[in-house]
Amino acid sequence: MAQAAPSLSITAPSDISAWALAPDGSQPKTQSGTLSVTTTSADGKSWSVAVSDNNSVTNGRMTKHDGASYVSGTKLGTPMQVVGPAGTVTLPLGGPVITGSGNVTSANYIITFSQRVLWSDAVITGPSSYRLSVTFSGSIQP
Amino acid sequence: MKHSTTIARRISLLVLLSLVSAIMPSFFAVSAVSAARGLTVTGVLLVTDVKPGETLNHKMTVSIGDGDAATEIGVTVAEVGQAEDGTYIVLSAAEESSVYSARSLITVDRSSFPLQSGQTQTVTATAKIPSSIGEGGRYAIISIQTKPVGQPGVGIASAVNVPVYLTVANTNLVHKGEITGISVGEPSAGKPIEVLTSFRNMGNHHFKVKGEVTVSDPNGKTLDTIHVAPTGTSIIPTMTRRLNATFIPRGVLPAGKYSVKSKVMLEDGAILDEHTGVFEIKQTYVPPPAAAETVLRPLAAATLKTDDGRISVTFPQGAAVGEAHLGLRSYSRDLLPSAPEHLKLAATFFRVDGLNGLLAKQATVAVKCSPADMEAAEGDASRLVLARWDESDQRWYVIRTAVDTRTMALSARTDQLGIWAVMVKDSPSSRVPWAGLSVLAVVAVVCLGIVLFVSVRRRKD
C-alpha cells in the first residue's frame, strides 16, 4: 500500500501592528500570540518550528522604515527575542521555539515576542516606523 | 453425502472469513487528515535513493486556509546546514558549497505564485542526478514561504522547509565522525551539571547518534553513567551536533578534579568515537534538592513520597541493614536508555538515590499515572508497567506491575532501586497474532482437505 505523503501545516501568530514601544515602564515589552501546528503521516518523526529574521538589513533588530524601504542606520539597540515552549531564541539566527514528534492536530502553542527598548533608541514619528519581519519555519526531519 | 459437503464448504468459508478479518485491519488503517489551517504543504520530505543518470520528480501541494488572506508564495532551493541543536539553516547562494550539496541538482517548476484563500497549488521539484554523482548522500532544502505583510510593527511570515536527502544507491555509505569537544558547565550548588559533547559527522552520509557520559571522581570511581537518547534528527555530513547530558550527583561532591568520558555511538551501539575531559569543582558542591527525601533505618518502616503524592516508595521494617539517606528525583526522558522491544517510554521517570545493592526486604514502588502517561497508553492503563534500569547489567527489567484502573495507579515490589520508568506495552492489535494465524491456517488446510476428500468421494459415488 502506498504511504500517504507527509504534510505539515503551520498557522503563525498574527502580525503585530500596534505595539507601544517606549523605554519607560517595565522591560522588556512583550506581545503574545498563538502558533498552531498540524502534522500528518509523520509517525515517529521529529518536527520543529524555528523562528528567524532572514533580512540582512534588519538583522534581528526593529529598523526604521520610511514607508518605501528600510533606513538601515536607525535600529533599536537590542535584537528581538522570541519565546516558545522549546526556549528563548534571539534574532536574527533564532532557532527552534517548538519541537515535537509524531502526528499532532491543531496543537496550539503560545509564542511571545520580547523587545527591550532603551532610552538611547531613536524616537521616530510618522510616516516612518520601526519594522521587522519574522519568519516561522516548520519542518519534519528524517 | 451432499449434506456433509455443504457443512465442509461452510466451515471452509468461515475459516477463510476469519483469516481475512484477522488481516483486514492492517490494510484499511489510514492516516487521519485534518482540515488545512494556515500554510499547509504536503510532500514535506524528499528522502530517497537515487541512481546516477536518473531524473526524478517530487510533487508538493501548497495551500492556505479558507479564512486566510491571499498571499504570494515564494519557493527556493537552497543548500542546507544544521545548527548544533539540529535545526536546519538555510544557507544563502553566496555561501560556499559543500561537496554533499544537492542544491545544483534540483529545480522547481515555479519560484513564486499568488495563492488565494482556500486554494491549493502544486509545485514540482525535479532532481537530475549526474552520472558522475559519486558516493554517499546529497542534501538540500526546498523552502516554501508566504510573503510577510508590509506594515508598521512586526510582520510575520510562515514557511515550510522540505528537507531533501538523496542517497546514491549501491555506493559506499560511510558513517563515521569524531568528538570535537567536551565542555562541562560551571558547577553551581543546587543546580545540575551540564555536560556537552560536540560530535562532527566526518562520513559521506547522514545518520543518528546516541551518547553515553561517565563521570568519575578524583580517585577514578564512577559516580554516574548518563545515557543520551538517540538524536531525533540525522546529522548530515560535515555538520556538528551537540549532545546534552545532565549530571545530577547522588550526593555532595568535595572539591577536586573530576573526569568525564563521553562516547558517541550509532543507534545500534557501534562506537564512533570516545573522548575524556576533566572538570574542576572548586568548592564543595551540593546537588539540587530532591523531590522527596527520607532516612531509612533498619528498625523502622519508612516511606519516600513526593509532595503531590504521585510517586512513593514504601519500605517495611528491616528493609535496610544500615541507615541510608534516600532521595527521589525526577529524571529526564532524554537521558534514559531506549525502551526494550515491545515497550515504549511513557511520561513518568524518576531516580531513587542513596541505596546501592539489594534491600533485605522488598519495597513497594507506587506511581499514580499522569495524564501524559495515559495519553501514551492511548487511555488504556492496563498497558502501563513499571521498569527499572539496572546499571550493572545495562538493561531494563520490567517489573511485575499491579494496575488499579480505577485510581490509575501502578505498583510493584522490588529489592533494588535506581532509575525507574513508566512504560507502555504494545497494543495487542499492533502485534501480528502469529500463533492465532497459524492455528487458523492449519484449520483451513484441514477443511480444504475435507472438501477435496468429500468431492472425490462424491465423484466416485
Instruction: Give B70-116 pLDDT, tens digit per residue.
Output: 889 999 999 999 989 888 888 876 666 789 999 999 999 999 999 99
* Global pTM value: 0.72
CA distance A107 to chain B (A): 11
Whether B37 and A36 have beta carbons less than 8 Å apart is answered as: yes
Say whether A4 and B31 touch across the interface (CB within 8 A). yes
Is residue B55 pLDDT above 80, yes or no?
yes
Chain A residue numbers touching B40 (CB-CB < 8 A): 7-9, 38
For the stretch B252-269, pLDDT in tens is: 899 999 999 999 999 999
Q: Return the H-helix or E-strand segment holding B434.
A: helix B434-460
Say whether B154 and A4 touch across the interface (CB within 8 A). no
In angstroms, the Cα distances linking B173 to B1, B24, B204, B356 are 66, 38, 6, 44
User: For residue A124, what is the nearest residue in chain B, using CA coordinates?
Assistant: B152
Angle at B13 between CA B7 and CA B19, to 5 degrees: 140
User: For residue A142, what is the nearest residue in chain B, using CA coordinates?
Assistant: B233
Mean pLDDT of A28-57: 90
Say whether A130 and B152 touch across the interface (CB within 8 A). yes
Average pLDDT of chain B to the nearest whole number? 85
Q: Could you tell me where in chain B the CATH 2.60.220.30 domains are found?
A: 292-429
Q: Return the H-helix or E-strand segment holding B18.
A: helix B2-28
Backbone angles phi and psi of B176, in degrees to 5: -150, 165
Cβ of A88 under 8 Å from any chain B Cβ? no
Chain B residue numbers touching A142 (CB-CB < 8 A): 45, 47, 163, 165, 206, 233-234
Domain B177-281 has CATH 2.60.40.10: yes
Say whether B163 and A101 touch across the interface (CB within 8 A). no
Selecting from B34, B40, B163 the residue whose C-beta is nearest the C-beta of A139 gives: B163
Cβ of A134 under 8 Å from any chain B Cβ? yes
A58: its cell numbers: 534588519
Q: Could you tell me where in chain B the CATH 2.60.40.10 domains are found?
A: 40-168, 177-281
State residue B216's pLDDT score: 96
Chain B residue numbers touching A103 (CB-CB < 8 A): 31-32
Chain B residue numbers touching A62 (CB-CB < 8 A): 154
State residue B197's pLDDT score: 97
For the stretch A84-100, pLDDT in tens is: 999 899 999 899 999 88
Structure confidence at residue B42 as a pLDDT band (50, 70, 90):
very high
CATH number for the segment(s) B292-429:
2.60.220.30
Identify the DSSP state of B447: H
Long-range contacts of B12-16 (CB under 8 A, 24+ apart): B12/B444, B12/B447, B12/B448, B12/B450, B12/B451, B15/B440, B15/B443, B15/B444, B15/B447, B16/B444
Is residue A3 pLDDT above 60, yes or no?
no
Tell me the ipTM for this assembly.
0.92
Architecture of domain B40-168 in this structure: Sandwich (2.60)
Say whether B42 and A5 touch across the interface (CB within 8 A). yes
State residue B9's pLDDT score: 47
Selecting from A14, A45, A139 the residue whose C-beta is nearest the C-beta of B88 gives: A139
Selecting from B31, B38, B153 the residue whose C-beta is nearest the C-beta of A10 gives: B38
- Rounded percentage of chain B residues whose pLDDT exceeds 90: 53
Distance in angstroms (rounded) separating the CA atoms of residues B149 and A129: 15
Of A10-24, B123-137, B305-319, B443-457, which range is least confident? B443-457
- Match 515552549 to its residue by C-alpha cell: A85
At residue A63, the 3 state secondary structure works out as strand
State residue A85's pLDDT score: 92
Say whether A12 and B156 touch across the interface (CB within 8 A). yes
- Match 575531559 to its residue by C-alpha cell: B277
Say whether B152 and A129 touch across the interface (CB within 8 A). yes
For the stretch B378-394, pLDDT in tens is: 888 999 999 999 877 88
State residue B372's pLDDT score: 87
Of A9-23, A29-43, B219-233, B437-451, which range is least confident? B437-451
Say whether A137 and B159 touch across the interface (CB within 8 A). yes
Structure confidence at residue B7 as a pLDDT band (50, 70, 90):
very low
Say whether A135 and B162 touch across the interface (CB within 8 A). no
In angstroms, the Cα distances linking B399 to B139, B403, B420, B421 are 45, 12, 10, 10
Chain A, 99 to 118: residues with Cβ < 8 Å from chain B are 99, 101, 103, 105-106, 113
Widest pairwise Cα distance in chain B: 101
Cα torsion A116, A121, A125, A129 to 10°: value is -50
At residue B137, the 3 state secondary structure works out as strand
Whether A113 and A21 have beta carbons less than 8 Å apart is answered as: no
B334: its cell numbers: 532524554
3 state SS for B300-340: CCEEEECCCCCEEEEECCCCCCCCEEEEEEECCHHHCCCCC
Peptide bond into A92 cis (omega under 30): yes
Cβ of A5 under 8 Å from any chain B Cβ? yes
Cβ of A92 under 8 Å from any chain B Cβ? no
Highest mean pLDDT among A1-10, B33-42, B47-56: B47-56
State residue B259's pLDDT score: 96
Say whether B32 and A141 touch across the interface (CB within 8 A). no
Is residue B443 pLDDT above 70, yes or no?
no
Selecting from B30, B45, B90 the residue whose C-beta is nearest the C-beta of A140 gives: B45
Structure confidence at residue B151 as a pLDDT band (50, 70, 90):
low
At residue B286, the 3 state secondary structure works out as coil
Say whether B88 and A101 touch across the interface (CB within 8 A). no
Q: Return the H-helix or E-strand segment holding B23.
A: helix B2-28
Selecting from A14, A40, A65 the residue whose C-beta is nearest the C-beta of B32 gives: A40
Backbone angles phi and psi of B455, in degrees to 5: -60, -45
Structure confidence at residue A4 as a pLDDT band (50, 70, 90):
low
Say whether A130 and B148 touch across the interface (CB within 8 A). no
Structure confidence at residue B441 as a pLDDT band (50, 70, 90):
low
More confident site: B440 or A43: A43
Whether A31 and A15 have beta carbons less than 8 Å apart is answered as: no
CA distance A105 to chain B (A): 7
